[in-house]
Amino acid sequence: MKYRMILNAFKGDIQKQLEEVTYFISGLQQDIQIDSAFIIGGDEMDGNDKEMLAEMVPTSSVIFVYMETYCSELLLDYLETVIDKDEICIFSAGYLGLEIAPRLAYRLKGSVLIDCEKLYKEDGVLIGEKKFYAGHMMGSYQLTEFPVMLCLSKGQNTMAVESTIKAKVTEVVLEEKSLTFSNSQAFPSVIEDDFSKSDFALVVGRGVKSQGAVSRLQELGEKLGASFGASRPVVMNGWLPMERLVGASGAILAPKITIVAGASGAPALYSGIEKSDFIVAINKDEKAPIMKKADVAVVGDATEVITEMVRVMGGEDAVDE
């Protein structure tokens, strides 16, 4: 069995990603060696930085995959051609693995496990473990189809990386001009603020209906001083980047106040906000589950309600018509 690691240089924390993957590998039942590593990134991989990265990674082969900006379709098309049937690919935690691992497994007819914390064999069957129900329970999943795609969970323990292997370095450049897009919007590949640590959060769901409404609510949230997150349907529709995902597969928030706009309050999302001191729910459906769980429930259109909140808190001039 071949093992590969896939790291995201766009995030800028390669050292931490390496240490988390190293810790994960150390917990496997047998000593394994990672055959190769893909490092995905842009301009941050130029010159001396690229040489330093190659020395850090404990593999015999390092493939630098360069994209001017992060583009999942380009990356998927490339990885689909180079991943072998018998491989186990270990993605570091974060938005790249959350998006690419399941889509690549689907294309290659393999298995996938997101937020994986442990991997082992039992009676000859590969088993992966992950937490669910807001981390209160651990589930075991059989990974019977290869290749296997694993995306590690956030907050993995770390282990120092010791590389004594001189890696063979390969460089691949993916050109965006080979693809055409319609009605697309580019998002920054890195979210600079750590919204998971904010004291005030605004989280939107698919009930807001459109990307335009999401953008408008983000603007209003900024006027209120709130960090901005979203449910899985919102990010899967491409209305926000994966870094803004809140819930079981994304960020776990614990602010003083969370406003939930247009989200039903499904368990996956609620697990990401239940630690909030105070929850305000805004939804057109008065029977939505979130309305019973919130400290304050407002029946109405989220954009209209939050626009009025901005007016009250900042005056008429605070809202751009």
C-alpha angle 316-317-320 in degrees, rounded to nearest 5: 100
Q: Which residues contact 285 (CB under 8 A, 6 or more apart)?
A: 207, 264, 291, 299
**Beta pairing partners, 38:** 6, 63
- CA 292 to chain CA centroid, Å, is 29
- CATH code 3.50.50.60 for 2-178: no
CB 122 within 8 A of CB 50: no
In the prediction, which pLDDT does 233 show?
Answer: 87
State the fold for domain 195-318.
Answer: Rossmann fold (3.40.50)
Look up tokens 């589950």; give the residue.
289
Question: What letter does residue 19 receive in the DSSP assignment?
Answer: H
CB 4 within 8 A of CB 45: no
pTM of the full structure: 0.57
Per-residue pLDDT of the chain (321 residues; tens, 9 = 90+): 789 999 998 887 888 998 999 899 888 866 667 889 999 988 766 655 667 777 778 788 999 999 888 888 899 999 999 999 999 999 999 889 999 999 999 999 999 999 999 999 999 899 999 987 767 889 999 999 999 999 999 888 888 887 666 778 899 999 765 444 444 454 444 444 567 788 999 999 989 988 889 999 999 999 999 999 999 888 887 888 888 899 877 888 999 999 999 999 888 889 899 999 999 999 999 999 999 999 999 999 999 999 998 888 775 455 554
Question: What letter does residue 174 receive in the DSSP assignment?
Answer: -
In the prediction, which pLDDT does 12 show?
Answer: 77
In the prediction, which pLDDT does 156 show?
Answer: 83
Q: Where are the domains of the chain?
A: 2-178, 195-318
In the prediction, which pLDDT does 46 show?
Answer: 60
Same topology, domains 2-178 and 195-318? Answer is yes
Listed residue (285, 36, 74) closest to 169, CA to CA: 36
In the prediction, which pLDDT does 182 show?
Answer: 46
**Beta pairing partners, 47:** none
User: Which strands make up the sheet holding 278-283, listed edge to edge?
Assistant: 227-230, 200-204, 257-261, 278-283, 296-299
* Residue 135 token pair: 């981390």
In the prediction, which pLDDT does 136 show?
Answer: 80
